[in-house]
């Protein structure tokens, strides 16, 4: 099995504070993946929302935040085990983040030998 990181993005900081019901939905989604033994890393570390990210680009150009073109932010991540990216995408599709306008980026985790 390969590992894939699911990066959770929200469009607005107000979405970062879920209701108890939304939090339970998210935990149920995560528990379902864990029950299948496909959870590799829960991403316990939350990424700060404001004022704590910079991007360094070629030529030592430094910009605020991780993005220059969009205004969304990363609210967290998990690493899952899947046979391929399509299977990882199917796991991501079941996440309730879409109900609040969020999205999930799916990337394969490459391991060095």
**pLDDT by residue (tens digit) across 49-92?**
555 566 666 777 776 655 544 566 777 889 999 999 989 999 99
Residue 67: what pLDDT? Answer: 53
Domain spanning 2-108: CATH superfamily: Dimeric alpha+beta barrel (3.30.70.1060)
Structure tokens of 61? Answer: 């150009």
- Contact by Cβ (8 Å): 9, 75: yes
Kindly provide the residue ranges of all beta strands, DSSP E only, lying in the chain, ordered along the sequence.
2-10, 39-41, 54-57, 61-64, 73-82, 103-108
- Is residue 38 very low, low, confident or very high in pLDDT (cuts 50, 70, 90)? very high
- Under DSSP, is residue 58 helix (H, G, I), strand (E, B) or coil? helix
**Mean pLDDT, the chain, whole residue set:** 78
CB atoms within 10 A of CB 55: 12
Residue 50: what pLDDT? Answer: 53
Give the whole-number percent of the chain exceeding pLDDT 70: 71
């Amino acid at each position: 099995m390969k590992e894939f990181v699911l990066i959770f993005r929200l469009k607005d900081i107000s979405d970062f504070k879920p209701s108890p019901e939304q939090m339970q939905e998210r935990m149920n989604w995560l528990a379902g993946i864990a029950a299948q033994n496909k959870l590799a890393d829960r991403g316990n570390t939350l990424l700060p929302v404001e004022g704590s990210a910079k991007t360094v680009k070629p030529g030592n150009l430094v910009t605020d935040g991780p993005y220059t073109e969009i205004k969304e932010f990363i609210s967290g991540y998990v690493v899952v085990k899947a046979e391929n990216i399509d299977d990882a995408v199917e796991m991501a599709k079941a996440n309730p983040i879409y109900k609040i306008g969020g999205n999930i980026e799916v990337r394969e985790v490459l391991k060095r030998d």
